[in-house]
Structure 1
Amino acid sequence: MKDHYTHAFTELQIPHQRNCNSISFPSVLSPNPTNVPFSLSLLTKTIATQKQFLDSLLHRAGAVLFRGFDFKTAKDFNDFVEAFGYEELPYMGGAAPRTNVVGRLPEFPSKLFFFCEVEPGSGGQTPLVLSHIVYERMKQRYPEFVEHLEQHGLIYTLVLGENDDLSSPIGRSWKSTFSTDDKNLAEERAAKLGTKLEWMKDGGVKTTIGPIPAIKYDKLRQRKIWFNSMVPAYIGWKSEQNDPVGVTFGDGKPLPADIIYDCLKIMEEECVAIPWQKGDVLLIDNLAVLHARRSSNPPRRILASLCK
């Protein structure tokens, strides 16, 4: 298969990658050094002509890191994303503060792009883990727990403040979350996301979503996958406003802490965390791969584009 794209790409082996069933995870592509200087316009044309190969590689690997291309600005990133022809999905309903930079709902994104515009001072990696492996290991270790998850799903509860708190990993305000400062419009948009709102006296809002499935079936790869935010919601959704824990079984029963922390351990054992380099673009198949974010020392600027 390499002959199909050697005129454009070279597949790299770099530290931190894992080998999963003879496939490098994630796959890493860089410009072929024998080429003339690889301009952004040439790259976008190459994507159009080699879309079938890139889709196939993403299907097999779950994530592809593009490293060494001449990406410098948000516009470069946007042009690159648009070359793939995926439909844009607005970032709505998440907890992490993010910024919409250049142009680009009840449904979840099928593809995620991340662009490292400013490399972190230290840390700040985006850990990746194959979601079917998490499911398989959890099913093997805790069959009754996973069966309960499959049967009932999860309910998430999160209090959003009136204004963004950039110091918190869950500091996204309701105004940013629903892209409006109009409470009626926020309620309309929340309803489309299947989210119930309960307005607080301090101007914030308590959001409740679920029960929603915690395990999905990946039809393309014909396997069950771990598709939930159980671990970060249980362990990481902590703030003055968010206490106690923001996630339960879909039937309202509490989640057992020991199993949650063991799931975290499994994810850490299986994850790949490649340090960001300026200009990197990471493409993730959201059904195949779970992602997170490690803390970092500034500066760090990672832009995101979500696609259907």
Structure 2
Amino acid sequence: MPDSWKPLEIDPASVGAEASAAGLVSYLRGEAGLDDLLVKEKALVFRGFGVAPGELDGVMDLLLPNRLAYVHGNSPRTKVGKNVYTSTEYPPEFTISMHNELSYASAWPSRLLFYCEKAATTGGATPVVDGVLWLESLDPEVRAAYAGGVRYTQNLHDGLGLGKSWQDTFETDDRDEVEAFLAGSGATWQWKSDGTLRVSQVRPSTIKHPVTGVEVWFNQSDQWHSAALGDETAKALAQIMPEEDLPQSVSFADGTPIPGDYAVQVRDRGLESAVDVDWQEGDLLLIDNILVGHGRRPFNGSRRVLVAMSD
């Protein structure tokens, strides 16, 4: 299954462009069909153009016409430019399972762009998975159980605690701004006495692509489920606090618990169906965020991959 799809690689020779950032910019300005190409191929790797960090903005302006802020994101990142962020800052020894960016939120980016500023010494690939293949890989009983959607719950602390604060999550310290955002998203919320913000929202488990109409797996239930963290981690968390007080948790839409083996199957089948993009410095990876999920393989050495997104 992993060999049945892979991103399209675009290099200077394949498009008759100069092997430089200027060459890539020239190609992108003349490529009127880039949007259609991305939908057709689902992911594009731009390799061999030698894009340096100082040249990135000019390329991003063409690939991401409307860069978005990472508002309501649950992943630890650092903002390094105009709506440009470090990719997930989880410790390098961990695998980050497959997911579509902000699939748990009311609005998500339509495309993501990754840029490799520094490649890891070993490992550190970005695996990508075709959402159709991921959906088809799941057992029928799992797909049926998820058909009604999922309920995500977040407990966002007020500056001290496990997970992210609500200030970091929404990039503001104004409660009125947060409430306006949540009201527009259809979420329910509660301010607790210790300043923690509890947010709950129901989202679908699959969606259809607006252009192709194909149905894809589109939720992050496995990443929000304690069973997918591993037995020891789940056991340790259970000793600290009840599940409803964890930084994030998930159930089926009606509140019924999601069986742990379902969450683990979702996680494992996504990784098994994925294709690795092995980074070279200066590479860019553009993905359709609905058609393609992404993750991260463990690595050694220092690694710096930046990410930006657009609607």
TM-score computed with the length of structure 1 as normaliser: 0.79
Q: 1:34 to 1:250 in 2, by over 3 A?
A: closer
1:64-121 CA-to-partner distances (Å, cap 9, x unmatched) read 1112212121x42221121136322221111111223222494211100011112224
1:176 is paired with a residue of what secondary structure?
helix
Which of 245, 249, 252 lines up with 1:249 in the alignment? 252
Which of 140, 143, 152 lines up with 1:142 in the alignment? 140
Bigger relative CO (Cα 8 Å, ≥ 6 apart): 2
- Is 1:50 the counterpart of 2:48? The answer is no
Q: 1:187 to 1:241 in 2, by over 3 A?
A: farther
How far the C-alpha of 1:63 sits from its partner, in A, is 0.8
1:246 is paired with a residue of what secondary structure?
strand
Match of 1:212 in 2: 203
Structure 1: gaps spanning 5 or more residues = 1-16
Match of 2:297 in 1: 294
Give the conservation status (yes or no) of the 8 Å contact 1:93–1:193. no
Match of 1:40 in 2: 21
Name the CA distance, whole Å, in 2 between partners of 1:127 and 1:202.
39
Give the conservation status (yes or no) of the 8 Å contact 1:216–1:226. yes
Name the CA distance, whole Å, in 1 between partners of 2:10 and 2:188.
43
Match of 1:230 in 2: 221
Letter in structure 1 aligned against 2:207 = K
The within-5 A match list for 1:1-308 is: 19-20=3-4, 25-32=6-13, 37-52=18-33, 54-73=34-53, 75-84=54-63, 86-104=65-83, 106-138=106-138, 141-143=139-141, 145-150=142-147, 152-163=148-159, 171-209=163-201, 211-234=202-225, 235-236=228-229, 243=243, 246-308=249-311
1:287 is paired with a residue of what secondary structure?
coil
Give the conservation status (yes or no) of the 8 Å contact 1:164–1:176. no
Give the conservation status (yes or no) of the 8 Å contact 1:18–1:26. no
Identity rate, percent: 29
Name the CA distance, whole Å, in 2 between partners of 1:243 and 1:124.
31
Q: 1:27 to 1:242 in 2, by over 3 A?
A: farther
Letter in structure 2 aligned against 1:125 = A
Give the conservation status (yes or no) of the 8 Å contact 1:197–1:205. yes
Give the conservation status (yes or no) of the 8 Å contact 1:159–1:242. no
How far the C-alpha of 1:290 sits from its partner, in A, is 0.8
How far the C-alpha of 1:201 sits from its partner, in A, is 4.6
Q: 1:261 to 1:303 in 2, by over 3 A?
A: same
Give the conservation status (yes or no) of the 8 Å contact 2:129–2:275. yes
Count, aligned residues: 278
Structure 2: gaps spanning 5 or more residues = 84-104
Name the CA distance, whole Å, in 2 between partners of 1:113 and 1:242.
37
How far the C-alpha of 1:274 sits from its partner, in A, is 2.4
Name the CA distance, whole Å, in 1 between partners of 2:14 and 2:145.
52
Match of 2:97 in 1: none
RMSD (Å) for aligned C-alpha atoms: 2.9
Letter in structure 2 aligned against 1:157 = T
How far the C-alpha of 1:33 sits from its partner, in A, is 8.4
1:69 is paired with a residue of what secondary structure?
coil
Q: 1:51 to 1:36 in 2, by over 3 A?
A: closer
Q: 1:191 to 1:296 in 2, by over 3 A?
A: farther
Give the conservation status (yes or no) of the 8 Å contact 2:17–2:24. no
Give the conservation status (yes or no) of the 8 Å contact 1:78–1:102. no
TM-score computed with the length of structure 2 as normaliser: 0.78
Give the conservation status (yes or no) of the 8 Å contact 2:17–2:27. no
